[in-house]
Structure 1
Amino acid sequence: MSSNPPRFDRGHTDDLMTFLAQSPSPYHAVANAGERLEKAGFQQLDETAAWDGTSGGKYVIRGGAIIAWYVPEGAGAHTPFRIIGAHTDSPNLRVKPQPDMGAHGWRQVAVETYGGTLLNTWLDRDLGLSGRLTLRDGSHRLVSADRPLLRVPQLAIHLDRQANEGLKLDRQRHMQPIWGLGDDVHEGDLIRFVAAEAELDAQDVAGWDLMVHSIEAPAYLGRDRDLLAAPRMDNLLSVHAGVAALAAVSTTGAPEFIPVLAAFDHEENGSESDTGAQGPLLGTVLERSVFARGGGYEDRARAFAGTICLSSDTGHAVHPNYPERHDPTHHPRAGGGPILKVNVNQRYATDGSGRAVFAAACEEAGVPWQAFVSNNDMPCGTTIGPITAARHGIRTVDVGVAILSMHSARELCGADDPYLLANALAAFLK
């Protein structure tokens, strides 16, 4: 652990709060990441077009995923990559194909639970609606109704006297939000509304990927404003830090490594999609980069053999009300810097050599760091780290920021930890 942490810069956290507020869905997150990279001189590439081997910053967006990389002057075809891995999706409620429903004088929207949602945190909360619309010509349009629009009402305690002894929610019956009054359900109401929000004719909308989001803005919390409360920190906190780190090193990186940001979708439900870490997207992009610079299979194999990935995702800070749920010798604290995540059963991909890589990056950045391991009696979560390591044969290390209320509609971390993570990631990419 470094004894010389950098002077904290709340400007980074302020910018993170803006990024979180502007990214209610994975599609918004990658669009915002792309805009930030464009300002740093990166160029978006079309996956269907031929790529060349010129130096500079490049990125591709597919759905809710973005892969960005910077080729320094002098980089060879066999130059290894330094990858920051993250994911853009968060547990939430997602709109079903036939969304219009209602009963007993209430208009409702039919939703499906996505990922490991902490259901009770979505009750009695003002919710907006966001995502993307697919038009008949195959193009997409982002949409966000970022205002009080929906609400999942909890049953009054007078009708459930045992609620405080153990709340049990049925995902199908109890999680359908209300958004109006009326006895008649009219098919197409929701899509007509969403199309109007996007300034489109509903007849032009052929498909949709919509979800609800908490409209409460990110905010500093606490007596000394040393906490950050916000939605979707798992894992847009890491996406934002990765974008900042990649943009920072794009003008200072040496030709020994090609820095990469890989932010995937669908991590919260297993990563099995064309935009998830289980899919071929990252490997295809890296291979095309090698081939565009004149390389062949041997160059690809050499590049991958020397590549390292930091899989950055949120982890658990020790909970003051439930300390017994944590390992007794590992108590990561908010405000203590990024965490190194270890699990010998490979739920995290970190090993001893990975620890050395991360420790060196933190030391270079002057950033304190902590170790995280789960209590032996508690099942351990996982990340894109083991998937990336196994699919691509890339040495991978799992890291992140310690938070409370993971998978809640609103999560909590130390206000300076995002800045410390970004510094460590930038040092790693260098």
Structure 2
Amino acid sequence: MSDMQKFNDGLLSFLDQSPTPFHAVEAMLKRLRAAGFEALDEREEWKLKPGGRYFVVRNGSSVVAFCCGQSNLQQRGWRMVGAHTDSPNLKVKPNPELHRHGYFQVGVEVYGGALLNPWFDRDLGLAGRVNYENAKGELCSCLLNITRPVGLIPSLAIHLDREANNSHAVNPQKDLPVVLLQSADKEDFRALIATELATQGFADVAKVLDYELSFYDCQQAALVGWNGDFIASARLDNLLSCFVGLQALLNSDANSHTVLVCNDHEEVGSQSAVGAQGPMLESVLRRIAGDEVSWQRTMANSMMISADNAHGIHPNFSDRHDANHGPLLNAGPVIKNNVNQRYATNSGTSSLFRRLCGDAAVPVQSFVVRSDMACGSTVGPLTAAAIGVKTLDVGVPTFAMHSIRELAGSQDAYNLAKVLTAYYGLESVNTGD
């Protein structure tokens, strides 16, 4: 088996293990612990050692992992990679119960900018965090993952909506309640969850108090295409980048000071205690750096690469791209540019990345959104503004971004990991500016 095949097998497994940000962080922590990383408690004093490998978690959905290199931190600076753990989905409402015509349904909220039509007629599992009271009256929490299909959103038959193929706007309030079961009884959603938790080994659940649960597509990640050219999966945006950054970190040079930050809440603006617009990364880094002068010296020698998927040129909709900036799948990572700072790339950081790609014999592409279209954004500009670090935005080209199932090239994630591994080992990030 080739190195790329092993990498993709690991990526597919990670995607299947990570139906929610909570599960994604849990899956990352297992890999970090296996590699010798130690957990740090922000409530305690830290005693960091040269060569030490550590991680900090907040809310169970965001993580900062870092390696304390053997070199001088102020002189060398940090090599950082940022990604996000969340993806658009359908979240269960606090009081979701709907009893209509003998069917038990649950109401959902749309999290992020989801492409809604593909959610219909899918086998849906349910996963997330549940908070409960145990038999001793203690507050507890656990992760739940119901991998079997427990829900679906049936489409309306074409016979009852003859214009469905011409125009079909989705009303999230009216059209998206999920069918769970058929019953004449008034089912209680929290009671169903308590019963399910008991079957999964949580026998001490006395009462479910609250939850953060999301529906997800039960179909597993897979290599697809006649020659296996593509990876198809839910949540490629942006768990693919989380996995790429993690693998690069695990393979990084022990002499370097390296950081991987994977934040929650990017898809809804990042403005939270654990989002990229919050204080998490800065507070961890300042604690490592020490006094203010050390912090400023370190940041002046540091760099951040924000890794978040890019829009590959769709062969059926090529007119949605600028003709000179249509990235192809399996043609290398994409440098993302925007003059209005929706991406944080500048000519210096992009030049450094191009040289890294050249040294690794990895092709590189560029993306600029059409001048008459709005541009999305990433954690890159937010991080750059918050801590004043030079930043680059890159990503793997994909199709169907924000759909329930997205598509990427089977070579691109592996190639980006090679480049980020080399970046982590850079002695200097001097971009000549």
Kindly report the root-mean-square deviation, in angstroms, between the aligned alpha carbons of the 2 structures: 1.5
Deviates more, 1:113-122 or 1:351-360: 351-360
Q: Does 1:83 align with 2:43?
A: no
Query: Pick from 234, 246, 250: which aligns with 1:247?
Result: 250
Instruction: Provide, for residues 45-98 of structure 1, a one-character-per-residue CA deviation record: whole Å limited to 9, x for no partner.
Output: 111111113121100111210100000124345641111000000000001111
The corresponding residue for 2:170 is 169
Distance 1:139 1:253, change over 3 A: same
Query: Pick from 111, 115, 135: which aligns with 1:114?
Result: 111
Query: Aligned partners of 2:310, 2:143: CA distance in 1, in Å?
Result: 30
Query: Aligned partners of 2:191, 2:157: CA distance in 1, in Å?
Result: 29
Equivalent residue runs for 1:306-345 within 5 Å: 306-345=301-340
Q: Does 1:93 align with 2:90?
A: yes
Query: Aligned partners of 2:114, 2:280: CA distance in 1, in Å?
Result: 26
Query: Aligned partners of 1:267, 1:274: CA distance in 2, in Å?
Result: 12
The corresponding residue for 1:62 is 58
Instruction: Provide, for residues 227-254 of structure 1, a one-character-per-residue CA deviation record: whole Å limited to 9, x for no partner.
Output: 11111100000000111000001xx333
Query: Aligned partners of 2:381, 2:198: CA distance in 1, in Å?
Result: 43
Query: Aligned partners of 2:139, 2:382: CA distance in 1, in Å?
Result: 31
The corresponding residue for 2:154 is 153
Query: Aligned partners of 2:163, 2:312: CA distance in 1, in Å?
Result: 30
Amino acid at match of 1:142: L
Instruction: Provide, for residues 5-37 of structure 1, a one-character-per-residue CA deviation record: whole Å limited to 9, x for no partner.
Output: xx8712111110000001111001011111101
Amino acid at match of 1:67: V
The corresponding residue for 1:192 is 194
Deviates more, 1:355-364 or 1:50-59: 355-364
Amino acid at match of 1:102: H
SS in 2 for 1:163: coil
Distance 1:8 1:325, change over 3 A: farther
Query: Aligned partners of 1:58, 1:211: CA distance in 2, in Å?
Result: 30
Deviates more, 1:337-346 or 1:205-214: 205-214
Q: Does 1:288 align with 2:290?
A: no
Instruction: Provide, for residues 236-293 of structure 1, a one-character-per-residue CA deviation record: whole Å limited to 9, x for no partner.
Output: 00000111000001xx333xx41100000000000011110010000001011112xx
The corresponding residue for 1:104 is 101
Query: Aligned partners of 1:164, 1:229: CA distance in 2, in Å?
Result: 25
Amino acid at match of 1:357: L
Distance 1:204 1:54, change over 3 A: farther
Distance 1:32 1:8, change over 3 A: closer
Query: Pick from 419, 422, 426: which aligns with 2:417?
Result: 422
Query: Aligned partners of 1:394, 1:23: CA distance in 2, in Å?
Result: 30
SS in 2 for 1:212: strand
SS in 2 for 1:149: strand
Matched pairs, number? 416
Query: Aligned partners of 1:232, 1:206: CA distance in 2, in Å?
Result: 28
SS in 1 for 2:165: helix
Residues 78 and 290 in structure 1, CA contact (< 8 A), matched pair in contact too: no
The corresponding residue for 2:263 is 264
Query: Aligned partners of 1:428, 1:139: CA distance in 2, in Å?
Result: 41
Distance 1:314 1:244, change over 3 A: same
Name the TM-score, length of structure 1 as normaliser.
0.94
Which structure has the higher relative contact order (CA within 8 Å, separation 6+)?
1
- Structure 1, unmatched stretches of 5+, are 1-6
